[in-house]
Amino acid sequence: MDPIEIITQQSIQDALYWVKATFIFFTLLFMIGCAYLYATTGYLEDRFFRDFREFWTFKPKVDLDRIRRWKKINDRMKSGIDNEYKIALLEAMSMLEDFMFENLKGETFEEQLMEIRKNYPEFCERIEEGKNLKEQIIKDKAMIAKFEQIRDILNNIELFLRKAKYLPA
């Protein structure tokens, strides 16, 4: 007798009904448990999906985070609201300071700016202008910032960060 014929006999199928039902029940329970854990914890995101996403996008998570952060800055500039322009400048300067802290020698902004002046002198004037404008915004929250001035500073910072390979091209 063929093994398939033995397995498909009605008497064996009747005997295995509860075994099959139990396996189906526990399979569904396991799937629901996985979905619940995925929704409530960051374990799968941290251990699996981040690596999976990095592999398929050919970009490390750090680059994706920087791209997302810069996109958020650009969206603030497109908003048409004066306060959003100021926040965009503050965030861009924060991102620039992160780059300087991670990649340049020196303890203060001025020391790090001297390092930039050696390698990228064309960006220094706008970076200093951005720092001064940032300080003015922090001191006087009611200050009205010019859209064109902030846009020029942000474009300059973006070009610098791309040229320094901090933001992917």
Q: Does residue 67 share a domain with residue 33?
A: no
Is residue 135 in some structural domain? yes
Residue 64, both tokens: 């994706």
Is residue 147 in some structural domain? yes
Q: How many CA atoms lie within 13 Å of 159's alpha carbon, on the beta-carbon side? A: 13
Which residue segment(s) compose the domain that 14 sits in? 3-40
Between 6 and 75, the more confident residue is: 75
Q: Does residue 137 share a domain with residue 73?
A: yes
The dihedrals phi and psi of 100, each to the nearest 5 degrees, come to -65, -40
Is residue 55 in some structural domain? no
Which of 113, 89, 87, 90 lies closest to 100 in space, CA to CA?
113
pTM for the predicted model, two decimal places: 0.66
Q: What is the mean pLDDT of residues 132-154?
A: 88
Our count of domains for the chain comes to 2
Q: Does residue 83 share a domain with residue 32?
A: no
Q: Does residue 154 share a domain with residue 100?
A: yes
Residue 154, both tokens: 């942000």
| pLDDT at residue 158 in the model | 93
| pLDDT at residue 83 in the model | 87
Residue 105, both tokens: 């020698």
Q: Does residue 78 share a domain with residue 28?
A: no
